[in-house]
Amino acid sequence: MSTNLATQLREGTKKAHTMAENVGFVKCFLKGVVEKNSYRKLVANLYFVYSAMEEEMERHRQHPVLSKLYFPQLNRQKSLEQDLHYYYGANWREQVAPSAAGKDYVQRIRDVSASEPELLVAHCYTRYLGDLSGGQILKKIAQRAMNLSEGEGTAFYEFKDIADEKAFKVEYRQALDELPIDDATAERIVDEANAAFGMNMNLFNELEGNLIKAIGQMLFNTLTRRRSGGSTELATAE
Ligand code: HEM
């Protein structure tokens, strides 16, 4: 049995992808406007999301459908831990907690895993194919914007166990097409992928207020950076 699930997912989430690219936080990121405190909060949420997703995929590694999409070389939990260590310090575990949107996203992954585990395919697709697509560009942006040296805070973007990300994407899409599912399940997976895009947008939207405040502060600092001479001090009295 085979479907064209990879194409269905790509076509069926196009609008959601465009919407995600147009979220304020994402647009700012692409323009190099990244602020460490907002960024590390996103990394913390992603840590909870990937930990849940990877734990559930591990739980179902013998599942007739999910076993065909079991690629632990994609796992991001460890790399997110490294990045959190960088951004928060050695006691990062005591400092991070999922936000409201982060909790909803994690809960959705747990619920789907318990009630209809095939839908985890949608969650893996939405995150991993996105990560494999934009990784190196986003890494460079983050490095430049936050003044990071190589190897600092960007482990998330590095797939150390994947030699050729482009080739791996081809393999992953083929695996999607070969999943033993019927058309109705494929449709539900596409719906769930759209929901996953929505949950990612919620994560970004939550950080917008934070970022706007930080941009305001940055602008204020720029405008007031130089101490200018006082008008009456400089002027010679006539
Ligand atoms: C920062 C804004 C973003 C940019 C510039 C961007 C860019 C891209 C690009 C260039 C591709 C490759 C398309 C191809 O293979 O031909 C892609 C694919 C993808 N992106 Fe994004 N992306 C962004 C945000 C996101 C977000 C927020 C998500 C979801 C969390 C996401 C999920 C995906 C997925 C799932 C694919 C694979 C599509 C497919 O071929 O089925 N992207 N993206």
pLDDT tens-place string over residues 145-200: 889 999 999 999 999 999 999 999 999 999 999 999 999 999 999 999 999 999 99
Annotated binding site: 10, 17, 125, 173
15 inside domain: yes
CA atoms of 57 and 196, how far apart (whole Å): 16
Nearest CA to ligand 1 atom 32: 130
123 inside domain: yes
Helix axes 5-12, 14-21, angle to 10 degrees: 40
* Domain around 77: 5-221
Low-confidence ranges of the chain (pLDDT < 70): 1, 237-238
Distance 130 CA to ligand 1 centre (A): 4
Domains held by the chain: number: 1
Annotated binding site for heme b: 10, 17, 125, 173
Nearest CA to ligand 1 atom 15: 133
Nearest CA to ligand 1 atom 5: 21
Q: What is the CATH number of the domain that holds 51?
A: 1.20.910.10
Q: Which of 4, 9, 3, 19 has its CA nearest to residue 122?
A: 9
